[in-house]
Chain A
Amino acid sequence: MPTSYHLDHLQHLETEAIHIMREVAGEFERPALLFSGGKDSICLLRLAEKAFRPSELPLPLLNVDTGHHFPELNEFRDRRAKQLGAKLIVRRVEDAIASGTAIPAPGEISRNRLQIPVLLAAIEEYRFDACIGGARRDEEKARAKERFFSFRDSFGQWDPKNQRPEIWNLYNGRLNPGDNMRVFPLSNWTEMDVWEYIRQEELEVPSIYFSHTRKCVRRGGQWLPVNDILPPKPTETVRDLVVRVRTIGDIISTGLVESPAATVDDIIAEIAAARVTERGSRADDKSSEAAMEDRKKAGYF
């Protein structure tokens, strides 16, 4: 029996997130959980287990495959979904380009913008009324303004100036036909909380989060993994480095950090001493001060 009725910070964040997961199951007809295989969505899946077991997860997993994913990530995504007996829906940007649902601009290589119509099409196809995502408010300053229940209109758009007030733990999940809700149970979690939770729950994460040797190319002030989509030019520096990823985006834009961190404990110690934020290694956020805000308004999760 507990001697004091007190929750530490992880227990506090956990019960808040479980409450939100169950509100989604209770208030929506057709929810889905966005699962990429990244560290945040790994925590989401554990929280879903805590919210819904011993029942089956009452929602499928959804992933938009940009075609530029790290292969290690997709392998992990498929394996984890299978372990949990969860239904996994994957929609591919490649297919959307082939069918004309997503149209690249001339010379557009990044899939950052193109994944938006693919997500919106999947939501429409399955008539999902709520999508649970692993976004955190501490990641980026446009995200700092997000609600737990983030209302989107029928175009999937976020209107930051007209958000529903969120008071106590009372979330307004009412929608009109065509409307949609994005729900972020990890809103109050920091990068450190995520890793502490991974440690506490002994969760497996994709191998690229740990230190490994990789061919890297120096681009835009960062080390990027050498890849076939944007192969190194003769003028570019290529090195074999001991690196890991801190946050995972597409393989052409995810900066690698030089790191000897081989265990979750090492990663936690590294983050505690870090002098740059997690998103500091994402080229997609650096393009302008409002890069994330603009993508969210267009329907990005």
Chain B
Amino acid sequence: MSVLASPSPSSAPSVLAALGTPPLPVDILRFNTCGSVDDGKSTLIGRLLYDSKSLMEDQLEALERSADITGGGAINLANLTDGLRAEREQGITIDVAYRYFATPRRKFIIADTPGHVQYTRNMVTGASNANVSIILVDARLGVIEQSRRHTAIASLLRIPHLVVAVNKMDLVGWSEARFNEIREQFETFLPRLDIKDVKFIPISALNGDNVVTPSGNTPWYPGPTLLGHLEGVHIGSDWNLNGFRLPVQWVNRPNNPTDAQLHDFRGFSGQIAGGIVRTGQKVLVMPAGLVTTVKEIWTYDGSVAEAFCPQSVTLVLADDIDTSRGSMIVGLDNPAGTGTELHAKICWMHSRPLERGKKYFLKHTTSTVQAVVTELVHRLNIETLDPEPAPAALAMNDLGEIRLRTAKPLYYDGYAVNRLTGSFILIEQGTNATVAAGMLLPSHEVVKPESDDFMI
């Protein structure tokens, strides 16, 4: 059956055309889709793009060409996102694919994350910056291990909103009882996870029911369509605005300035990773441990009196303090945690397992340090969601908790409080492979000035 039974969208105006030039500001919602093989993720994205008239004629032509060659004539919406030859040949998604579309309400960035091999790795990649995660469940199969794993990862990454899209409802006769059964399966384990907002939506990605247009097959479902929900969900601020943090990325020192005023210019460039900074504010510079004052917040578009997370700025400080890439400039209220003994939740993403005593590079904000794994605290059992204490190793796709010791102190926050200063990656020495994503638990110790000399 061709899924493109409806008239070609080329005859209808595009959403953007109807809109004309979109009025600013428009916000961006990032979401990712996860499910296992054949749950219909790529089809769902194809459907979202197709029904929201975000597909262009040449993309449809390319789809039709590939249908003639490989699909026996039936158009496969998954071919829109499966961009690699091996993916089209095998009918699977290999790597995270990003897609972009807009409606009058919002701009959307979709990360399509494959659900088979390397799924944890891909899902963590696709979901780490997401506002919303969509978990696809095949209505015939209900909750399977993958559904539990994806939900646990979404919880671990603290994705603010979750959507459970119960797909292939057409294959279970649009049964309300089956839909409720799956919702109850989820609700048995959801309370054990850190997820605040979950929405269940019955859909058929193949036929388009409740994706963009409300379905006549689900009179018992009073809620929004999937796109309606994505357009309306309140994403508020994902950024932490309490506790100023500026990880120094680059020291900005003009070498040969033609402008005499810039002779002594020394700025610290970076993206604000938390809080708000104002000129005249006292800040603590780590690792120097000295307090100074923000003299100027320099930007290309002129100096500003105030800047906030996640803006990119260049700070000029009142005193000359030894500061370089990897330093952290922090506000005096809500001081950052610090230490070399770290406790973290972790997703392991490499075929060589994590073992106690191994050394890695740890990249946290703009600082890369050596780290040694001192303890494997537990491994999460995905079936039961129970922690299994003191495992011998963490294998690919395992979630767990570990302790590490770093060669130099980090300046950080708990991941639950600040995603940007509470996250790190581990890099294998030698191969330089990224092997783990880590989420720090709060520190017991906080940064403080070396001496009070600069304090007033």
| A residues in contact (CB < 8 Å) with B | 1-2, 5-15, 18-19, 22-23, 25-26, 49-56, 137-138, 140-145, 160-161, 163-170, 172, 174-176, 179, 187-188, 190, 192, 196, 265, 268-269, 272-277, 279-280, 289-290, 293
Min distance, Cβ B297 to any Cβ of chain A, angstroms? 12
Min distance, Cβ B361 to any Cβ of chain A, angstroms? 7
Set of chain B residues within 8 Å of A265, measured between Cβ atoms: 21
Set of chain B residues within 8 Å of A22, measured between Cβ atoms: 249-250, 269-271, 312
Min distance, Cβ A141 to any Cβ of chain B, angstroms? 3
Q: Assess the B310–A7 pair: CB atoms within 8 A.
A: yes
CA distance A137 to B363 in the complex (A): 26
Min distance, Cβ B367 to any Cβ of chain A, angstroms? 10
With A12-B28, A56-B255, A172-B427 as known contacts, state yes or no: A289 contacts B66, CB within 8 Å: yes
- Can you list 8 A-B contacts with CB-CB less than 8 angstroms, sorted by A residue number? A26-B249, A55-B252, A141-B83, A145-B83, A174-B432, A187-B98, A188-B109, A272-B20
Q: Assess the A144–B99 pair: CB atoms within 8 A.
A: yes
With A50-B299, A165-B124 as known contacts, state yes or no: A273 contacts B254, CB within 8 Å: no
Q: Assess the B308–A2 pair: CB atoms within 8 A.
A: yes
CA distance A2 to B65 in the complex (A): 51
Q: Pick the residue among B28, B88, B95 that contacts A9 (CB under 8 A).
A: B28
Set of chain B residues within 8 Å of A196, measured between Cβ atoms: 24
Q: Assess the B423–A145 pair: CB atoms within 8 A.
A: no
Per-position 1/0 for B1-44, Cβ under 8 A of A: 00000000010011011011110111110000000000000000
Set of chain A residues within 8 Å of B193, measured between Cβ atoms: none
Q: Assess the B100–A23 pair: CB atoms within 8 A.
A: no
With A141-B83, A168-B128, A170-B363 as known contacts, state yes or no: A50 contacts B312, CB within 8 Å: yes
Give 19 new A-B contacts, CB below 8 A, not counting A49-B300, A172-B432: A6-B25, A7-B25, A12-B28, A22-B270, A25-B250, A26-B325, A54-B262, A144-B97, A145-B83, A145-B96, A167-B124, A168-B128, A168-B423, A172-B425, A172-B434, A190-B107, A272-B14, A273-B14, A275-B56
Min distance, Cβ A202 to any Cβ of chain B, angstroms? 12
Set of chain A residues within 8 Å of B85, measured between Cβ atoms: 289-290, 293
B265 within 8 A of A: yes
B366 within 8 A of A: yes
Closest 9 CB pairs of A and B: A8-B25, A141-B83, A280-B58, A18-B312, A174-B432, A22-B249, A273-B17, A50-B300, A165-B125
Min distance, Cβ A84 to any Cβ of chain B, angstroms? 13
Set of chain B residues within 8 Å of A53, measured between Cβ atoms: 300
Min distance, Cβ B52 to any Cβ of chain A, angstroms? 14
CA distance A9 to B306 in the complex (A): 20
Q: Pick the residue among A10, A49, A163, A272 that contacts B16 (CB under 8 A).
A: A272
Q: Assess the A141–B80 pair: CB atoms within 8 A.
A: yes
Per-position 1/0 for B107-132, Cβ under 8 A of A: 10100000000000110110011000
CA distance A269 to B95 in the complex (A): 34
Q: Assess the A167–B128 pair: CB atoms within 8 A.
A: yes
CA distance A1 to B304 in the complex (A): 9
B185 within 8 A of A: no
Set of chain A residues within 8 Å of B305, measured between Cβ atoms: 1
Q: Pick the residue among A167, A176, A274 that contacts B423 (CB under 8 A).
A: A167
- Closest Cβ neighbor of A200 among chain B residues: B24
B256 within 8 A of A: yes
CA distance A141 to B276 in the complex (A): 39
CA distance A88 to B169 in the complex (A): 58
Q: Assess the A15–B94 pair: CB atoms within 8 A.
A: no
Per-position 1/0 for B84-108, Cβ under 8 A of A: 1110100000111111101000010
Set of chain B residues within 8 Å of A160, measured between Cβ atoms: 84, 94-95
With A169-B420, A188-B109 as known contacts, state yes or no: A137 contacts B300, CB within 8 Å: no
Q: Assess the B88–A289 pair: CB atoms within 8 A.
A: yes
Q: Assess the B253–A55 pair: CB atoms within 8 A.
A: yes
B59 within 8 A of A: yes
Set of chain B residues within 8 Å of A274, measured between Cβ atoms: 14, 56
Q: Assess the B259–A289 pair: CB atoms within 8 A.
A: no
B81 within 8 A of A: yes
CA distance A280 to B61 in the complex (A): 10
Set of chain A residues within 8 Å of B420, measured between Cβ atoms: 168-169
Min distance, Cβ A198 to any Cβ of chain B, angstroms? 13
CA distance A55 to B298 in the complex (A): 12
B412 within 8 A of A: no
B419 within 8 A of A: yes
Min distance, Cβ B205 to any Cβ of chain A, angstroms? 19
With A54-B259, A164-B433 as known contacts, state yes or no: A15 contacts B100, CB within 8 Å: no
Q: Pick the residue among A8, A14, A167 that contacts B26 (CB under 8 A).
A: A8
Set of chain B residues within 8 Å of A6, measured between Cβ atoms: 25, 27, 237
Q: Assess the B271–A15 pair: CB atoms within 8 A.
A: yes
Set of chain A residues within 8 Å of B306, measured between Cβ atoms: 1-2
CA distance A142 to B95 in the complex (A): 10
Per-position 1/0 for B259-283, Cβ under 8 A of A: 1001001010111000010000000
Min distance, Cβ A186 to any Cβ of chain B, angstroms? 12
Set of chain B residues within 8 Å of A166, measured between Cβ atoms: 125, 434
Q: Assess the A293–B83 pair: CB atoms within 8 A.
A: yes
- Closest Cβ neighbor of A174 among chain B residues: B432
Most chain A beta-carbon contacts within 10 A, residue among B121, B237, B311: B311
Set of chain A residues within 8 Å of B14, measured between Cβ atoms: 272-275
Min distance, Cβ A126 to any Cβ of chain B, angstroms? 19
Min distance, Cβ A238 to any Cβ of chain B, angstroms? 25
CA distance A165 to B311 in the complex (A): 24
B62 within 8 A of A: yes
With A26-B249, A167-B425, A272-B16 as known contacts, state yes or no: A18 contacts B26, CB within 8 Å: no
Q: Assess the B312–A142 pair: CB atoms within 8 A.
A: no
Q: Assess the B125–A142 pair: CB atoms within 8 A.
A: no
Set of chain B residues within 8 Å of A163, measured between Cβ atoms: 95
